[in-house]
């Protein structure tokens, strides 16, 4: 146990994590424990070389729209088109928390919110007297419709040097539009699965880019490894918090002795890893669900994509039904079956093993 780690701070962080868990009754806690443990111990984060290919603004928009069109779902294509073609010279993304906007009547000619709340992002934005953030430079943003209640990082793109990462981000954020609900009471329940849909779209986009020779296999593998790395990093956080919670529940509080006993029982000897993991928990926003949703979504999307490869029509039809269920607030085990969520021990083991193979480049 690293002496630089404060036991008091660790106990406080785990108390806060525990209080903040909303979770969902359709997600088995042991699924998170098992998946996070296996990915933490066995998955590999591969540092792949970065393949950079630049696209103009028009090329990037064309790729995104053609991708959505290729799925054959008119409502998805039309929504993506309405968002993207409302942009001017540049493109960016800002999904914002509508409930925090003070003047909810400020919209553009398409009825899209003009301003979004947030913290200062370098010199690009400034706050007016109402505390509403307004862009200082002529950058347009993908502004999600007025009923959006989501808050995420703001993405700014260079119109002349857009990359596949940028295109991936655009598709990811637009996908959030397809299952957004107005009912605030349903948000907490769906938060833990909120990234499943965008992750599924990312997987389908990679397939589209490869099939249409927009990117070769080496580039696609690079993009996949980047996402796999993200999922594994979130898994490590979930694994650390879950085990610290177990220690706290068993012993009444986290102690140096309890941690040393856990590390020995699990054959964990990398002191740097332990220190960094614990510091991540102490320095985090204590949001267990936030990290859990990326773990859940990464594993579920990998299963959905296997279905997509076998039967594209069925997979897309299921995804349409899944979107509608979330819009209607019907969030349960039956809903998750539509995206082939691993809901039993056999599927969980199979999914985790396959994901680990992906991380090692074995699949």
State whether residue 356 is helix, strand or coil: helix
Distance CA 234, CA 277 (A): 11
Highest mean pLDDT among 95-104, 135-144, 162-171, 290-299: 290-299
pLDDT of residue 251: 92
pLDDT band at 186 (very low <50, low <70, confident <90, very high): low
Sign of CA dihedral 322, 324, 327, 328: negative
Average pLDDT over residues 227-237: 90
| CA-to-CA separations, 105 to 115, 119, 232, in angstroms, rounded | 10, 21, 41
Report domain extents, the chain: 7-48+221-359
Distance CA 81, CA 62 (A): 10
pLDDT of residue 148: 34
Two tokens, residue 71: 């799925």
| CA-to-CA separations, 305 to 251, 263, 285, in angstroms, rounded | 42, 36, 31
DSSP sequence for 322-335: HHHHHHTT--SHHH
> What is the overall mean pLDDT for the chain?
75
pLDDT of residue 333: 87
Beta strands in the chain (DSSP E): 92-94, 125-127, 133-135, 142-143, 155-156
Highest mean pLDDT among 23-27, 270-274, 303-307: 303-307
pLDDT of residue 47: 62
pLDDT band at 185 (very low <50, low <70, confident <90, very high): low
pLDDT of residue 179: 80
Q: For 287-300, how does the pLDDT look when each residue is reduced to its tens digit (9 = 90+)?
A: 888 899 999 999 99
Nearest in space to 321 (alpha carbons), one of 298, 300, 339, 299 = 339
CA atoms within 13 A on the CB side of 228: 26
Average pLDDT over residues 155-173: 74
CB 185: neighbour CB atoms within 10 A? 8
Within its chain, how far is the Cα of 148 from the centroid? 17
pLDDT of residue 158: 54
Are 136 and 127 a contacting pair, CB within 8 Å? no
| CA-to-CA separations, 153 to 28, 182, 308, in angstroms, rounded | 29, 21, 29
115 pLDDT higher than 70: no
């Amino acid at each position: 146990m690293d002496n630089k780690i404060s036991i008091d701070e660790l106990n406080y962080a785990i108390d806060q994590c525990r209080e903040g868990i909303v979770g969902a009754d359709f997600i088995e806690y042991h699924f998170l424990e098992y998946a996070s443990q296996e990915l933490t111990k066995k998955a590999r984060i591969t540092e792949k070389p970065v393949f950079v290919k630049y696209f103009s603004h028009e090329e990037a928009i064309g790729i995104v729209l053609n991708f959505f069109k290729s799925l054959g779902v008119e409502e998805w294509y039309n929504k993506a088109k309405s968002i993207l073609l409302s942009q001017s010279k540049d493109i960016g993304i800002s999904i914002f928390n509508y409930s925090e906007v003070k003047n909810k009547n400020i919209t553009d000619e398409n009825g899209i919110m003009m301003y979004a709340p947030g913290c200062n992002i370098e010199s690009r934005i400034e706050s007016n007297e109402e505390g509403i953030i307004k862009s200082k430079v002529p950058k347009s943003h993908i502004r999600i419709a007025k009923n959006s209640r989501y808050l995420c990082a703001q993405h700014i793109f260079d119109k002349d040097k857009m990359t596949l990462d940028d295109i991936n981000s655009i598709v990811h954020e637009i996908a959030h539009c397809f299952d957004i609900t107005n009912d605030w009471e349903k948000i907490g329940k769906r938060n833990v699965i909120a990234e499943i849909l965008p992750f599924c779209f990312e997987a389908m986009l990679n397939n589209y880019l490869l099939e249409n020779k927009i990117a070769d296999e080496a580039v696609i593998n690079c993009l996949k490894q980047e996402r796999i790395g993200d999922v594994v990093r979130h898994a490590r956080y979930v694994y650390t918090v879950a085990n610290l919670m177990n220690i706290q529940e068993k012993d009444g509080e986290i102690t140096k002795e309890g941690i040393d006993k856990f590390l020995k029982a699990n054959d964990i000897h990398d002191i740097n890893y332990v220190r960094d993991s614990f510091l991540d928990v102490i320095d985090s926003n204590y949001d267990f669900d936030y990290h859990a949703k990326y773990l859940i979504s990464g594993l579920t999307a990998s299963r959905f994509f296997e279905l997509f490869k076998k039967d594209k029509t069925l997979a897309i039809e299921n995804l349409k039904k899944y979107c509608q269920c979330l819009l209607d607030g019907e969030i349960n085990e039956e809903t998750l079956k539509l995206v082939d969520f691993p809901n039993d021990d056999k599927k969980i083991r199979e999914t985790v093993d396959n994901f680990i193979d992906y991380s090692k480049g074995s699949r």
